[in-house]
Structure 1
Amino acid sequence: MRWLAAAALALAPAALHAQQDLPALYDVSGVAADDVLNIRAAPSASAPVMGALPPGRQGVEVVTLASGGSWGQVNSDEGSGWVAMRFMALQPGQEGFAAPAACFGTEPFWSLTRDGTAWRFDAPDRETRDFVTTWQGMAAGRRDRQARGLRDAEGTGEATAVIARGACSDGMSDRAYGLTLDLLIEGQGAASYFTGCCTLER
C-alpha cells in the first residue's frame, strides 16, 4: 500500500495540471538561481533544446499539455516548444475563462489590446478606436467560449468579441496560440469582421 501512496503523490502534479483550463499563465518555480528551465523541441527530456526560461520568470502562457500532462507547450521567439510542468506553478486567479491581453490578425494586420475593461483596436488605414466592456457572458452550455460586448468611448459604435479556446496560428510564425477571436465592429452605417488569435501574455 505504501508504494501505491507514493505513486499517487508522484502523479498528483500532472493530474492537477491536466484539470486546469488552458491556456493559462504560470510562473517558473523550483529552478535553481544558477540554472534555467529548458524549452525543448518536443515533449521529451531527450529532445533538442530550443530556448530557456530563467528561474523566477513570471507570466508564462502554457498553451496546451502533452498527453499525460507532464509537459506544457510555451512560445519562444518565433516558435513554440515544451517545458517540464513540474517546474511550472499556476498563477492565482486563473480559474474560469481568462481574458486575453491581446488579440491580432493578418491580411490586413490588426490588433485588439486590453487594459482592464478597456480595449484598443488598431489597424492600417483605420482610426484607432477605444472600447469599454459593456457585458460579457459564456455561451450557453459551454465552458470554452465567451462573448464580450464593447462600446467605443465616443458612443458612435459597438463591437462584439467572441473568444474561444482552440488551436490558432498567426500564419506568420511557428508560435502556437490557444485562443481564437471573432470580432464584429459596427458603427457609422458599416460593419467589419475580423478573425485572429489571442494571447494571455503581456
Structure 2
Amino acid sequence: MKQSKLLVLALAGLVLSFAAVPVRAQKALHNDDAALSFFGQFSNSVNGNGISLHSGDSLGVQGAFRHTYHWWLGYEANYGYTRFSEYYSTHVYSFQHNLHEIGGAYLVQAPSSFAGLHPFATGGVSVLIFSPTLNGGQQAPWQARPAVTFGAGVNHPILRSNFGVRAQYRALFYKAPDFGEASLNTGSFRMTSEPTIGFYLKF
C-alpha cells in the first residue's frame, strides 16, 4: 500500500537521522529530561486542483524525551496527539480525524541562561498519522504523511534546578491529507503551528 510505504520511508529517515549521533552519546551523562506539554493546533488554509481546504483549530497534548550529549547539542523524541476536522470545498461534510505525531529532532541549546531563561531550538522529522474518527470521519481510511519539523523555545527552572516550565513554538511542514481520494487532493503543502506550554523534569 502507498500509505504503508510512505510510513516506512518516513520512519527509516527518522532512524537514520539519529544514526549519526556520536558513539559517546550512548554513555549516560545524566543529562536527560522528560516533558509533558499542551499545545494549540493552527493549520493554514491551502488551495490546489480546484479544491480549497481549511482546518479547525484544536488543543493537543505532547510528551517528549530529551538527551543532551554535549553542552550545547542533543536530541529529542516526541509523541503528540490532537483531534480536529478538515473542511474540503468539494464535500458538504467535514472529515474529523485524530492526528498522531511521532517524531525526532536534533536539539541546540544556548551555552547559558538569560534572565533565568534557557533558549533552545529544534529541527527534525516526524510521521503524521491522520486517523478518521468513527462518527465524523466519513469512513475514510487512515493516512500517513512525513513532515519536517522545527521550533524554538525556552526552559525556565522553578523551585529546583531539575524542574521547570517549558514554552516553545513548533511548526510542522507537510503535504495536506487527502485520505487517498482524488476529490480531496489539493496537491498542496501546508504549515501547522503549535504554540506549546508545559513542564519538564531533569534526571
With structure 1 as the length reference, what TM-score do the two structures score? 0.27
Higher relative contact order (CA 8 A, sep 6+): 2
With structure 2 as the length reference, what TM-score do the two structures score? 0.27
